[in-house]
Amino acid sequence: MENFRVIIGQWSARIKEFWTGLSLNQKVLLSGALLFVITAVIVSSASIFRSDYEPLFTGLAIEDAAAITAQLEELNIDYLLEDSG
């Protein structure tokens, strides 16, 4: 654990030294690039893990919708049930 703290301290010192050596323009550009990368990762992750649902059936009777949702749950398939069935 102590070794880990030493390594983190060394990295922290290197980052501080690097940052203080930058001009204001370089700091602004680096901050903007970092913000862009973080935003791109968040947006990409959100779009990758978003579920796109397509209608499987419409206009079902309540009993039929219940039977289908029971089967989907048994198969661990995500579904979205709306008013139109």
Give the Cβ contact number of residue 68 at 10 Å: 16
* pLDDT tens profile 36-51: 999 999 999 888 887 7
| CB-CB contact of 81 with 69 (8 Å) | yes
Q: Report whether 63 contacts 51 (CB < 8 A).
A: no
Predicted local confidence at residue 15, as pLDDT: 94
pLDDT band at 84 (very low <50, low <70, confident <90, very high): low
Amino acid making up residue 7 = I
Pick from 47, 50, 44: nearest CA to 80: 50
User: pLDDT of 17-30, one tens digit each?
Assistant: 999 999 999 999 99
Is residue 76 a contact partner of residue 49, using CB atoms and an 8 Å limit? no
Write down the pTM of the prediction.
Answer: 0.53
